[in-house]
Structure 1
């Protein structure tokens, strides 16, 4: 008997512990819930808010992906992109949650059901480790009633509050025939999307033309970015084509207030406009005088003559510039050619050949300079203007170039020859400037004796 009792006790403890562990497991799983946030009777056209909460144990490691779903016969939006963070304790377990608020606007009366919504996310099932999870949002059904009829049985728009404001671009007094008046009407609808605001009706009395501009839709938001109201701005221009008194009708919209369950009317007052006759000058010509026939345009000969003169002047300037440039190029080329053929240039070639110790080039340079200046033979010129050392250096140069191959000749001192030629040329230039008719010499012998003794100083 004692064995049976002990076995029964063990079985009971096993069942209790199993249920306890099962409860902990259930409590530790992620879950979701849906809540109808808008209370009271719901009406067609009213914005209905539904809160979707997703909870996980510990904390999220990647945010839940809330989808935008469809409900037949309703417009679904999620105006607040940011989620609300939540914390909750369930069965002794701490949960972190994120809430998104959807706005559902039913277009007609009836029952509406939330579709199956699956939301994936990442969370820390075990702290420090990422687990992928997903939850299915519990279904939610709500009933929408029809909006009570307004004037004439026509249902109005459902909003938390609807107001109309208007402005005119000018003083309503002092208008004349042909003037224009701009009327701007702004509708503010709390708890209503801008696209759901009805279009106001602008009427114009006889004798007034009306031009409507494109509406401007916008939203009013809180500091957190939550939409609190919709705004619609309509602008219309009235043109008064004749004098008289005109009554601009009021702008009225019916709206249903779900808080009071009554249909209310928002309006912008009309205006009575007195339009005076147009000024006398305008009356004589008429409000819309026919366009005068186009006058034959006269040719401005003075302007055309000025243009022609400017063109001719530009052409002459271009021709003159081209001629001057051509002359400049010719003069430059001539000057360079003359400089290349001048006596100083020829003598510079002699000095350069001496400095570079190029005997062949020196011989050609000396021949060219002596022929250009008429100092032929060059030895006669050196006898007159060169000193003994210069004549000796020149003779050694000639012997090295034209002497017999078996003869022994000293290497010419081209450096000394260069200095002596410079001094001789300077004396020659001074003598030439003093006596322009100074004889330059006679032709050299056809076969000079290059092995003759070198000149000696006295």
Structure 2
């Protein structure tokens, strides 16, 4: 009898150990406190297998009514835990869920496929998302007007490619407004309100949104930069109006407004366009002067040549006369005047 009881107990222990040594998943929510519509909720999902993974778990994207679900491309976290004497290897991925309305939200039982080692052999396995639930409530104080976008640590800045007070008619002025916010997704950041500027045409560009951007203080968030080119058309002083950007601060649980100040723009007359006549006149004068100089030099050389020839003729005539005076025939005089060949 005792032997039977001992055998039964041993079988139960081994059976429970074998049951425990199976892949499983658990989930946890990172957000604490009240969750409002439009706020990003980070949900950690941990998948564990006994021993080690032979192929990583495939975390699926799932549908959640009235919510936007994404799986950011962040680095997976590796873990090791010992549960009931069994060592498990774990991998964590984090989902970003943005509920668009109030109410209760429950994760669906989506399947997670994987591979792991069992008794030294690779086997295929599967587990499911745990049925975790979270509640979204409307904010207090009548703050429902700004619930289309909720974030933390929002900042809005602007920059210009040149001094706005030194423009001339026809000049271009490029303004870039950048919205940075934590705990949100770039695709959810609303556009900056459009403002019109008297006397200037506007040419906006499509924004280049980005997630996982590190700010100067090393905080990580999402950005939405918007670039607009202004073309000055009228002389005078005008103003690019101030910008008011409403949002909901999840840390303060209250509506907030980020403000950009207005910017004065001074436009003066543009300089007259150069026709190129002056340079052409100068070039013509230079060419004329060059021609006159060349002619003068040529005339001088011609005069020297004429004088030289005249002197040579005079010299030859003098030599002939001198030769005849000494009784030398003119032919011989001529020969005597010629240089002897070597």
| TM-score after normalising by structure 2 | 0.71
CA drift at 1:98: 1.1
Q: How does 1:226-375 map to 2 (within 5 A)?
A: 228-276=220-268, 278=269, 281=272
**Residues in 2 aligned to 1:191 and 1:232: alpha-carbon distance in whole angstroms:** 14
Match of 2:205 in 1: 213
User: 1:168 and 1:204, CA in 2 relative to 1: closer, same or farther beyond 3 A?
Assistant: same
Match of 1:13 in 2: 6
**Residues in 2 aligned to 1:178 and 1:69: alpha-carbon distance in whole angstroms:** 53
Conserved? CA contact 2:52–2:89, under 8 Å: yes
User: 1:171 and 1:95, CA in 2 relative to 1: closer, same or farther beyond 3 A?
Assistant: same
From 23, 30, 37, the counterpart of 2:23:
30
Q: Any idea what SS the aligned residue of 1:42 has? A: coil
Match of 1:183 in 2: 175
Q: How does 1:408-447 map to 2 (within 5 A)?
A: none
| TM-score after normalising by structure 1 | 0.54
Query: Per-residue displacement from partner, 1:44-95 (whole Å, max 9, x unpaired)?
Result: 2222111111111111112212111121221211113542111111111111
Q: Any idea what SS the aligned residue of 1:237 has? A: strand
Query: Which of the pair has more CA radius of gyration?
Result: 1
Query: Per-residue displacement from partner, 1:353-395 (whole Å, max 9, x unpaired)?
Result: xxxxxxxxxxxxxxxxxxxxxxxxxxxxxxxxxxxxxxxxxxx
Structure 1 regions of 5+ residues with no counterpart?
A: 1-6, 283-458
**Residues in 1 aligned to 2:241 and 2:196: alpha-carbon distance in whole angstroms:** 8
**Residues in 2 aligned to 1:149 and 1:24: alpha-carbon distance in whole angstroms:** 53
User: 1:169 and 1:147, CA in 2 relative to 1: closer, same or farther beyond 3 A?
Assistant: farther
Between structures 1 and 2, the one with greater helix share: 1
Match of 1:398 in 2: none
Query: Per-residue displacement from partner, 1:96-127 (whole Å, max 9, x unpaired)?
Result: 11111111112222221111111122211102
**Residues in 2 aligned to 1:152 and 1:124: alpha-carbon distance in whole angstroms:** 51
Match of 1:88 in 2: 81
| 1:104 correspondence with 2:97 | yes
- Root mean square deviation of aligned Cα: 2.5
Query: Per-residue displacement from partner, 1:327-373 (whole Å, max 9, x unpaired)?
Result: xxxxxxxxxxxxxxxxxxxxxxxxxxxxxxxxxxxxxxxxxxxxxxx
Between 95-104 and 31-40, report the one with greater CA deviation: 31-40
User: 1:81 and 1:187, CA in 2 relative to 1: closer, same or farther beyond 3 A?
Assistant: closer
**Residues in 1 aligned to 2:208 and 2:125: alpha-carbon distance in whole angstroms:** 44
Conserved? CA contact 1:43–1:145, under 8 Å: yes
CA drift at 1:15: 4.3
Match of 1:163 in 2: 155
**Residues in 2 aligned to 1:46 and 1:273: alpha-carbon distance in whole angstroms:** 38
**Residues in 2 aligned to 1:228 and 1:29: alpha-carbon distance in whole angstroms:** 37
Between structures 1 and 2, the one with greater strand share: 2
Conserved? CA contact 1:114–1:139, under 8 Å: yes
Q: Any idea what SS the aligned residue of 1:130 has? A: strand
